[in-house]
Structures are given as C-alpha cells and as structure tokens.
Amino acid sequence: MTGRLSGKVAIVTGGGQGVGYGIAQVFAREGAKVLITGRTADKLEAAVGALKAAGGEAAWITGTAGVRADAQAAVAKAVKLFSGLDILVNNAQTSRPGILFEDTEDALFAMTIESGLYGTFQHMQAALPHMKEKGGSIINFGSYEGIHGGVGFAAYAATKEAIRGMSRTAARELGQYNVRVNVICPAALSPIAEQWTKDFPEEAEKVMKLISLGYLGDCAGDIGPAALFLASDDSRYVTGQTINVDGGQMML
C-alpha cells in the first residue's frame, strides 16, 4: 500500500478504540505499518483485524500506559516486526471526568497522571534511541479542558497541561536529531466523550455551544487527518506546536 506514510512505522497507544483507532485507520490507509497498544486484547485484536481487512499492515500488543516495561515492550515489538520506528502517537489516557477539585482523591489524581503524563514520557524515552538515528514525529495529546480549565477536570487538566509543557521542552532538545514533537487538542466523539455527554448532559450542552462548527469531530474523519499532517513530511518544519482540532472550540 502506498501513501503519504509509505514505508513508515508508527505506534499508536490506546489504539483499540476512539481517537487512537481513528488515527490508526488513517495511518494504515496511508501506507504506514502500525502497532496499536491498549489494555484489552480482544479489542486490539478486533481493531487490527479491521485494519488488515482494509488493506493495512498492523499488529497489536497489550500494555498499560504508565508502566515503563510496557512502553519498552511496545517499542521493541514495533522495531522487531517492522524494522524501525518513525512515528509515535501518545493517545492513551485513563480519566474520570466530572469530579470536582475538592473531591479529587489522591488515587484518582495518580491514576490520571500515570496513564497520561507518565505514559507519554515513558513511550517517548523508549522511542528516542530509534528515532535519533533518522528523525521522527511524536504526537502527544493535550485538551481544551487543560487550556480552559474545565469544571470537574482537575486531574485531567493538570495531566494534559503537563504533557504540553513536556512536549515543548522535548521539541527544543530533540530538534537537533530531526525529531519533531507536537500536540493535538481534539474535540472528538470518542466512546469516553459519548459517555460523558450522557452522564453530564448540562455540561455537554455548554461545551457544544462553544464549538463553532457545531459538532464533535469524527475520530478518523476529523482528528485522523490532523495527525496525518503531523506524522508526514508535510509538517517537516513544524515542531513544539499545539494544534486545536476542535471545530473552533478554542481559538488562541
């Protein structure tokens, strides 16, 4: 399969559903060899089956974001199967929205930080020895809730803003190796977002009113192309940036 990512190897964490799977679909369609990670084997196996049925080349490995050994195992498998690593998408994140700041317990804060910030940090470090040889693209994930400071998102907002800060520092340090680091802040109708809109309809209605284009984006159709841009050579002169792919929810 040829395309804008032909010959490239990508890892997408949390790639069994939602935004991660949408990105994996686009990457595979554009010729990348894709390894997806996640905690549920059945979900990953089904996702890879669908990617292969569509003509893509893909594999999966179970792992928990925030466990360094799992990050190292994912990178090792991608390199062994596909002979390299060019693109890393740090999408995996566990969170519980709707918990007010004063009610946020240590365990919830730790879980959110470990899966998002630590998971991103550890996967980046595991990938770097391979990317430093010939360059690469790292795509991390922030959030409107982090930039804006959404009600009920204390742990999540802290995690996502920490990821953005770390990404800027990494972009400055890794430019000498032609490793680019950028951040996407999406507004997408992922399974988690869909559940949140059901659990908190009043807050969801407020959010929808802030989206200028009037809808939550499609994971593959709206978020995937933005990730494709950052993964491809089309963005070879773009690093250290946050791109809000949110229908005009956040305008900086």
Q: Point out the residues that are catalytic.
A: 156
Alpha carbon distance 63, 74 (integer Å): 8
Residue 235 Cα to chain centre, angstroms: 17
Query: 126 CB contacts (<8 Å, ≥6 apart)?
Result: 68, 71, 72, 74, 75
Q: Which two tokens stand for residue 35?
A: 């390894």
Tell me the sheet residues that pair with 35. 11, 59
- One DSSP character per residue, 127-187 reads HHHHHHHH-EEEEEE--HHHHHT-TTBHHHHHHHHHHHHHHHHHHHHHGGGTEEEEEEEE-
Alpha carbon distance 106, 99 (integer Å): 12
Contact 20, 13 (CB under 8 A): yes
Alpha carbon distance 152, 101 (integer Å): 7
SS3 label, residue 54: coil
